[in-house]
Amino acid sequence: MKNYIKLFAFITLLSFTFTSCENDEEAAAPVITDVEVGLQNSKTAFIGGDLHLEANIFAEGKISKIQITIHPADEAAHIGPMKAKSALTHEGEWKVDTTYTKFADLKNATFHEHIDVPVNASAEAYHLHIIVVDMEGNTTEYEEEGLTIVVPVADGVLPIITISTAPTANQVFITGQTITISGNITDKKGLVGSYVGLVKVSQNLTDANVSSSNTITLLHFHDFTDPKNYSFLASINVGVINDNDLTPKAATWTAGDYYLVVKAPAIDGEVGFSAHYPIKIQ
Q: Is residue 25 part of a domain?
A: no
Q: Which of 189, 194, 38 is nearest to 117 (CA)?
A: 38
Same domain? For 190 and 265 the reply is yes
Looking at 112, 130, 150, the residue that finishes a domain is 150
Same domain? For 220 and 255 the reply is yes
Choice between 273 and 4, residue whose per-residue pLDDT is larger: 273
Q: Is residue 21 part of a domain?
A: no
Q: Is residue 3 part of a domain?
A: no
The sign one gets for the Cα dihedral 265, 51, 73, 99 is positive
Confidence of residue 90 (pLDDT cuts 50, 70, 90): very low
Looking at 122, 150, 178, the residue that finishes a domain is 150
Instruction: Find the mean pLDDT for residues 146-152.
Output: 91
The contacts of residue 98 (CB under 8 Å, 6+ apart) are: 67, 68, 69, 115
For position 73, which CATH number holds?
2.60.40.3550
Same domain? For 183 and 115 the reply is no
pLDDT given for residue 24 in this prediction: 57
pTM for this structure? Answer: 0.67
For position 244, which CATH number holds?
2.60.40.10
Tell me the per-residue pLDDT of 232-262, one tens digit each, with 9 for 90 and over.
999 999 999 999 998 899 999 999 999 999 9
Tell me the per-residue pLDDT of 92-111, one tens digit each, with 9 for 90 and over.
578 999 999 999 999 999 99
* Structural domain that includes position 130: 31-150
Tell me the per-residue pLDDT of 9-31, one tens digit each, with 9 for 90 and over.
545 555 544 454 544 578 899 99
Instruction: Find the distance separating the first CA and the last CA of the chain, reported in whole Å.
Output: 85
Distance CA 52, CA 115 (A): 7
The contacts of residue 214 (CB under 8 Å, 6+ apart) are: 203, 205
Q: Is residue 271 part of a domain?
A: yes
Q: Is residue 219 part of a domain?
A: yes
Tell me the per-residue pLDDT of 193-221, one tens digit each, with 9 for 90 and over.
999 999 999 999 999 999 999 999 999 99
DSSP H or E segment with residue 171: strand 171-173
Looking at 150, 176, 192, the residue that finishes a domain is 150
Same domain? For 167 and 277 the reply is yes
Q: Is residue 172 part of a domain?
A: yes
Total structural domains within the chain? 2
